[in-house]
Amino acid sequence: MDKAADLSKTAAFVALEDEVGAHNYHPLDVVIERAAGVWVWDVDGKKYLDCLAAYSAVNQGHCHPVIVEALVTQSRRVALTSRAFRNDQLGPFFQELKRLTGFDRVLPMNTGAEAVETAIKAARKWAYEVKGVPAGQAEILVFTGNFHGRTTMIVGFSSEEQYKRGFGPFAPGFTMLPYGDADAVEAAMNPNVAAVLVEPIQGEAGIVVPPDGYLKRLREITSRHDALLVVDEIQSGLGRTGKMWAYEHEDIRPDVVIMGKALSGGLYPVSAIVADNPIMDVFQPGDHGSTYGGNPVAAAVGLAALRVLVEERMIENSAQLGRYLLDRLRAVDSPHVAEVRGRGLWVGIELVPGAGGARRFCEALRDEGVLCKETHENVIRVAPPLVITREELDWALVRLERVLTA
């Protein structure tokens, strides 16, 4: 930080957090105190355009008034009942998700990782009870570069050494295959495979877009081998790629869809899985649950978040401005850029190895008023809220172009 910043409120908050918090993150030193739509303001009054959108949790824009209203109103009525009793918000929320996905049933949780755990439980129990896999033998196929959350079970099948180091022993039952290679999935198929767990586009790996037809082939292979296709749409879903669900780009219907993040528009942790009866019916009372999962505030917020996403045409905006963003970034003539890829308002700028890493570009962008975050060493992720306008996007693009060509 420079000298002027050393005297700022920012520096004081950064110092406090670093002193008393665990050091499990390496954030950019921007201390945000309020936000609206695509904009955030720091404690020193500086304004930024948010091009991360909390990893796609705020697709609907920060503090969307309709979602805030749902949160406040429901908080005053009843916030938590636990699922020991019923509440009047849960059914309508489920109904809306059913309508938007076309699946029979919904199982709500809170964080994305919990929804992934839920999907794994569903797939394994389905394998034993419906498919007939011998007890304890169920296998789940996963992919290099995957990101499905941070629980000990989930990090156990990560290909990222840092996510696992020091946290073992890990749960068995997962087989790692190269992402994007459908032939490898075909070759790995055997009667014990319960499911293939896949991100339609890998977000944390650096917006990695698989070859065209990949999901279609996974659908065909899993169907032929009587295994489930489980898609993790926690980051790719809810409009990010220009469709409600990223799997729609390949016209397939998976067996289980995992969602989270923007399911609440950033107001509250809300996640869920959806599936049809033959899978969801493996859960009997007492098999699985969560104290906060499906609470009335979560349901009210989730319903509002889904409604504004659709009614305010944010998904169409993502498709339209996403194409524009990709075209503009691909046209940038920079010696630092190796590749620009993405779909919808979700773009990864991969830098060449000699560029000095994505972090310094994200710091330069912050100084220009644009908040991006590096993913791994060499990728800058650009993923603004889906409410962004053409003018706001142009404002960010001028700064991106300046920083990338400096």
Q: Which residues are catalytic?
A: 147, 232, 261
- Among 61, 108, 149, 344, which residue interacts with ligand PLP (rule: CB under 6 A)? 149
CA nearest 13: which of 49, 44, 48?
44
Map the footprint of ligand PLP across residues 201-240, applying CB under 6 A.
203-204, 232, 234-235
Cβ burial, residue 369 (10 Å; 0-12/13-18/19+): middle
Beta carbon nearer to ligand PLP, 243 or 336: 243
* Residue 116 binding ligand PLP, by CB under 6 A: yes
Q: x-or-dash pattern for ligand PLP, window 302-331, by CB under 6 A? A: ------------------------------
Q: What share of the chain is helix, strand, coil (3-state, %, to 5)?
A: 40, 15, 40
Alpha helices of 111-175 — where are they, by DSSP H? 112-126, 152-155, 161-164
The answer to whether the CB of 309 falls within 8 A of the CB of 238 is: yes
Out of 148, 217, 219, 381, the only residue in the binding site for ligand PLP (CB under 6 A) is: 148
**Per-residue DSSP letter, 213:** T
Supply the DSSP symbol for 127: I
Work out whether 260 is an interface residue with ligand PLP (CB under 6 A).
yes
Binding-site residue total for ligand PLP (CB under 6 A)?
16
118 binds ligand PLP (CB under 6 A): no
Return the closest-CA partner of residue 376 out of 199, 203, 149, 167.
203
Q: How far is the CB of 309 from ligand PLP (least distance, A)?
A: 17
157 is a site residue for ligand PLP (CB under 6 A): no
Question: Per CB under 6 A, does 379 bind ligand PLP?
Answer: no
Residue bearing tokens 């394998």: 127
The H or E element containing residue 48 is strand 47-50
State the Cα–Cα distance between residues 47 and 32, nearest whole angstrom.
Answer: 9
Q: Read off the amino acid at residue 174.
A: F
**117 binds ligand PLP per the rule CB under 6 A:** no
Q: Does 147 bind ligand PLP (CB under 6 A)?
A: yes
The type of residue at 91 is G
Cβ nearer to ligand PLP, comparing 59 with 111: 111
Residues with Cβ < 8 Å from 31, sequence gap 6 or more? Answer: 9, 10, 13, 14, 42, 43, 44
Shortest gap between Cβ of 260 and ligand PLP (angstroms)? 5
Which of these ranges, 60-68, 93-101, 198-206, 311-319, lies near ligand PLP under the rule CB under 6 A?
198-206
Residues that bind ligand PLP (CB under 6 A): 55, 111-113, 116, 147-149, 199, 203-204, 232, 234-235, 260-261
